Amino acid sequence: MPYDSPVGLAVVTGASSGIGTEYAATLARRGWDLVLVARRADRLDALAGRLREETGAAVEPMVADLARSSDLARVAERVAADDVALLVNNAGINGYGPFTEVDPALLAKVIDVNVVAPTVLTRAALPGMVARGRGAVVNVASLLAFAGALPPAPLPHRAVYGGTKGYMVTFTRTLAAELAATPVRVQVVCPGLTATEFHLGTGEAPVTGEARVHDEGGMPPADVVAASLAALESREVVCVPGLSDPGPLARLADEELAVRDGSGAALAPRYRTPERSRE
């Protein structure tokens, strides 16, 4: 299934800024029709109008807050339709801050948007894709999924956010193995710092005003999307746009197999107390 030619309709969540906007623009230029999902109606309408004019794509805006169950159900119903050939689960919020200080309601929203929503939407999309013998799901995670043991500063306080992105990596890799015998592709893309407005708020409410870039800068969103779509074409399950040598990902898989050796029935010697050692 080529991703550089029109093959149907793509649904992109979190489309009103940053990486989501770039997925929408890139796919439209390549001939895809679009459903664009985000909270900000003004930005969605402006983007849809621009893409229609510039590319001739059919663009359907869907204003939705994926933390709300009613909005999520409405988007899931659209994603399950027969015309959907690509789902990009890009919507995400960060909820950054020391874990003991962040509002619990915000942390719950991070989980709803970053974990529950992409899981529900992927579940809605895949049965039809498998039945039709074509389709793909792209989940946007983060390199912070691999940063669990690193302290904050210069990295953010990210216990819940990093945990949600770790979920997306494991979810996608495991799902890819489950779908290996089908033509359907799944990918998780893990960008590092990206030049978007993501760090301008915690995600409790949308960033207001014109689209802009946080002061930290980072990789251009266009490069993240270019890497993701190239990796999708070559069937890479884990895409790290800035990683020149894929060797660490292969070694990670090997080390995971070694860790799985701990699934035996015998207790590891290092955990044996003197009493247990005499048994």
Q: What's the CATH code, domain 9-246?
A: 3.40.50.720
pLDDT band at 4 (very low <50, low <70, confident <90, very high): very low
> What's the pLDDT score for residue 1?
43
**Are the C-beta atoms of 110 and 160 separated by less than 8 Å?**
yes
**Which phi and psi angles does 17 have, rounded to 5°?**
-160, 170
Q: Is 96 a catalytic residue?
A: no
Rounded to whole angstroms, how far apart are CA atoms 209 and 206? 10
Judged against a pLDDT cut of 60, whether residue 3 lies above it is answered with no
Mean predicted lDDT score pLDDT of the chain = 92
Domain assignments of the chain as residue spans, ordered by start = 9-246
Write out the DSSP string of 98-126: -TTTS-HHHHHHHHIIIIIHHHHHHHHHH
> What's the pLDDT score for residue 207?
60
> What's the pLDDT score for residue 196?
83
> What's the pLDDT score for residue 6?
45
Among 96, 161, 167, 271, the one annotated catalytic: 161
pLDDT digits (tens, 9 = 90+) for 172-218: 999 999 999 999 999 999 999 997 877 655 656 666 556 666 667 78
Euclidean distance between the first and final Cα of the chain, in Å? 59
pLDDT digits (tens, 9 = 90+) for 33-84: 999 999 999 999 999 999 999 999 999 999 999 999 999 999 999 999 999 9
Chain centroid offset of residue 224 CA:
12
Which single residue is written with the structure tokens 């049965």? 127
**Are the C-beta atoms of 208 and 143 separated by less than 8 Å?**
no
Residue, of 27 and 213, whose pLDDT is higher: 27
> What's the pLDDT score for residue 212?
61
**H-run or E-run covering 88:** strand 84-89
Structure tokens at 169: 């990596």
